[in-house]
């Protein structure tokens, strides 16, 4: 038994989902970085000097995981847009879904900001603060900017989704109530015609 999907009503839901997925992706990328990025820690014993610790750039596996998680919400939104092409009012489905996803991806960025700062005690450039000539990022500075960027992109995602839904609702209302309706069949139409030149009979 084959499962048949409803017939597509147009590609507008998929198109708007793909458009909204752009700011959503970058917002998720910032949030995913705050949540998962961590330096590669190397420790060794230095005899009587105790334990030495150095922080190195994150591993390739960590970077790959960050990017995969960053793509996930956008791919979900695009899949929702594709499915919504088969719904009567499907255009609004990806708009509502984008708002929900945008809120979900940044709801714990405050906690992730603190955790990321703790994992990079020298800052994201991994340079000690004692080296003033080379230290570009103080501990916590990049994390604050990354969270602000994620929240700002979240606002853009929500704004685009709501604006698209509002425009579509406005166009529907205009076509429904304010457009000129075609004349009904059988209705007498007024027209311009030349005056009757036939003289009346006697």
DSSP string, 5-57: PPPP--SHHHHHHHHHHHHHHHHHHHHHHHHH--PEEEEEE-GGG-EEEEEEP
pLDDT tens-digit series, residues 55-94: 678 889 999 999 999 999 999 999 999 999 988 888 999 9
Enter the tokens of residue 16: 């708007």
Report pLDDT for 70.
96
Whole-number Å distance between alpha carbons of 143 and 121: 12
pLDDT tens-digit series, residues 103-149: 999 999 999 999 999 988 888 877 776 666 566 777 888 999 999 99
Residue 186 has pLDDT above 70, yes or no: no
pLDDT tens-digit series, residues 30-52: 999 999 998 876 766 766 666 66
Whole-number Å distance between alpha carbons of 186 and 180: 18
């Amino acid at each position: 038994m084959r499962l048949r999907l409803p017939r597509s009503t147009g590609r507008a839901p998929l198109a708007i989902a793909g458009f909204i997925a752009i700011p959503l992706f970058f917002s998720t990328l910032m949030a995913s970085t705050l949540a998962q990025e961590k330096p590669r820690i190397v420790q060794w014993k230095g005899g009587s000097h105790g334990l030495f610790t150095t922080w190195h750039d994150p591993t390739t596996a960590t970077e790959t995981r960050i990017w995969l998680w960053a793509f996930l919400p956008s791919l979900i939104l695009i899949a929702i847009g594709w499915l919504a092409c088969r719904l009567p009012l499907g255009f609004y489905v990806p708009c509502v879904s984008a708002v929900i996803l945008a809120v979900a991806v940044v709801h714990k960025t405050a906690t992730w900001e603190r955790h990321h700062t703790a994992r990079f005690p020298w800052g994201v450039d991994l340079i000690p603060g004692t080296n003033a000539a080379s230290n570009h990022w103080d501990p916590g500075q990049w994390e604050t900017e990354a969270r602000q960027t994620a929240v700002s992109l979240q606002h853009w995602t929500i704004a685009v989704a709501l604006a698209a839904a509002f425009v579509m609702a406005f166009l529907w209302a205009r076509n429904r109530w304010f457009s000129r309706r075609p004349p009904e069949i059988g209705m007498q139409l007024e027209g311009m015609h030349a005056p009757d030149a036939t003289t009346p009979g006697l």
